[in-house]
Amino acid sequence: MLIVGDSLSAEYGLPRGSGWVSLLAQRLEKHRPPWRVVNASISGETSAGGRSRIETLLKTHRPKVVVIELGGNDALRGLSLASTQDNLLTMANLSKSQGAMVLLLGMKVPPNYGADYNAQFGKAFAQVAQQTHSRWVPFFLEPLTAPGEWFQTDRIHPNEKAQILMLDHVWPALEKLL
- Please give the positions annotated as active site: 7, 154, 157
CB atoms within 10 A of CB 109: 16
In 3D space, the residue among 11, 34, 52, 56 whose CA is nearest the CA of residue 178 turns out to be: 34
Interatomic CA distance for residues 109 and 56, integer angstroms: 29
> CA torsion angle for 80, 82, 84, 89 (degrees, to 10)?
-170
DSSP string, 91-146: HHHHHHHTT-EEEEE-----GGG-HHHHHHHHHHHHHHHHHHT-EEES-TTGGGGS
State whether residue 41 is helix, strand or coil.
Answer: coil
Q: Is the distance from CB of 10 to CB of 69 less than 8 angstroms?
A: no
